[in-house]
Amino acid sequence: MKLIIIDYGLGNLRSIEKALQYVGAEVEISNDPSAIDRADALILPGVGAFRDAMMHFATLERVVKDAVDEGKPLLGICLGMQMLASESEEGGLHKGIDIIPGRVVRFPASELKVPHMGWNSLIIRKNIPMLNGIEDGSFVYFVHSYHVSTDTEYEVAMCDYGMEFPAMITNEAGNVIGTQFHPEKSGATGLRMLRNFVESYGP
């Protein structure tokens, strides 16, 4: 399985590359549309602000959406998951890739600190191949101030931080998955998920 980590100028590319190599994937970091088109599966990482990410991503959006429409697997991580949504309220209202219907919203004001940072547990709502062998209540690592608000049909796993929010989402076809947490920073649990992605969504 040839994986392309999409390099659009934002994202912790090396850590996800190392994690995928650790689980046996053949990985390349690229911003070349032809390489993205030839890939078996795609990883969309992301760190930073939604608006900046979408501006940087604009030249690659069409080739990525075409790949998804062809049924290629895509994994969006953290901001990469949020980019899959229809729009975001971060820094004003901005359009997303619109692969999974939803809006990115900020955590409501409460006594809890924002950003939500550190380890928290998953509430698994739907069994998908990426969660094979992952137990309900498993801990994963989060760093974010915004979360995706979407319909329950797209929710795979939730997390509780003063309110329940989607920790994992998927599209109707099941070939696109988003994780609000960082699997590459989530120890053995995260590595198991990445191995599952490589093994279950490969050709």
Active site residues: 78, 182, 184
Antiparallel, parallel or unpaired: β 176-179 and 164-170: antiparallel
Closest alpha carbon to 129 in 76, 175, 172, 171: 175
Q: Map residue 86 onto helix, strand or coil.
A: coil
DSSP 137: T
Determine the Cα–Cα distance for residues 85 and 103; give it in Å rounded to an integer. Answer: 6
DSSP 184: G
Cβ atoms 141, 180 nearer than 8 A: no
Determine the Cα–Cα distance for residues 176 and 191; give it in Å rounded to an integer. Answer: 18
Cβ atoms 45, 78 nearer than 8 A: yes
- First vs last C-alpha separation in the chain: 7
Determine the Cα–Cα distance for residues 90 and 154; give it in Å rounded to an integer. Answer: 21
DSSP string, 134-152: PPTT-EEEEEESEEEE--G
